[in-house]
Amino acid sequence: MKTKNLPLPKIGELKSLLIALKNDIADDYIEEGDTLPSIQVTIGANIKGEWSYQTGDNSYSGAAYRYPHWAVIQLYRRSNCLELAREIRNQLSELMQY
């Protein structure tokens, strides 16, 4: 997927954010049907290169939702943050192409 010309969040910034957010995962943050603690992370972005994030449920309020494009991932304590950063960029790239 071509992402070179799109103003996406930098992989390093996303990776650092996800690493920091792992500290917020409490033992009782277990989604229905899951067995491991995790948090949902939403990254909102626009074609100007601006972005923000929020954690928690997808209730359409918060810093990420002022942006038109959203990437949503589930973050576990043992998640590979580099892979998730790439996934976020791929999700945003697909959305920004339309």
Q: In this predicted model, what pLDDT tens digit does every residue of 26-82 receive, in sequence order?
A: 999 999 999 999 999 999 999 999 999 999 876 777 899 999 999 999 999 999 999
Q: Where are the alpha helices (DSSP H) in the chain?
A: 11-21, 81-96
DSSP state of 97: T
- Say if 4 falls within a structural domain: no
Report the first-to-last Cα separation within the chain, whole angstroms.
Answer: 14
Q: So what's the pLDDT on residue 92? A: 96
Collapsing DSSP states into helix, strand and coil, what is residue 30? coil
Q: Which domain holds residue 65?
A: 11-96
Q: How many domains does the chain have?
A: 1
pLDDT for the residue 25: 96
Q: Is residue 5 part of a domain?
A: no
Domain assignment of residue 67, yes or no: yes
Angstrom distances, CA of residue 15 to CA of 67, 78, 90:
20, 13, 14
Is the model's pLDDT at 6 over the cut of 90?
Answer: no
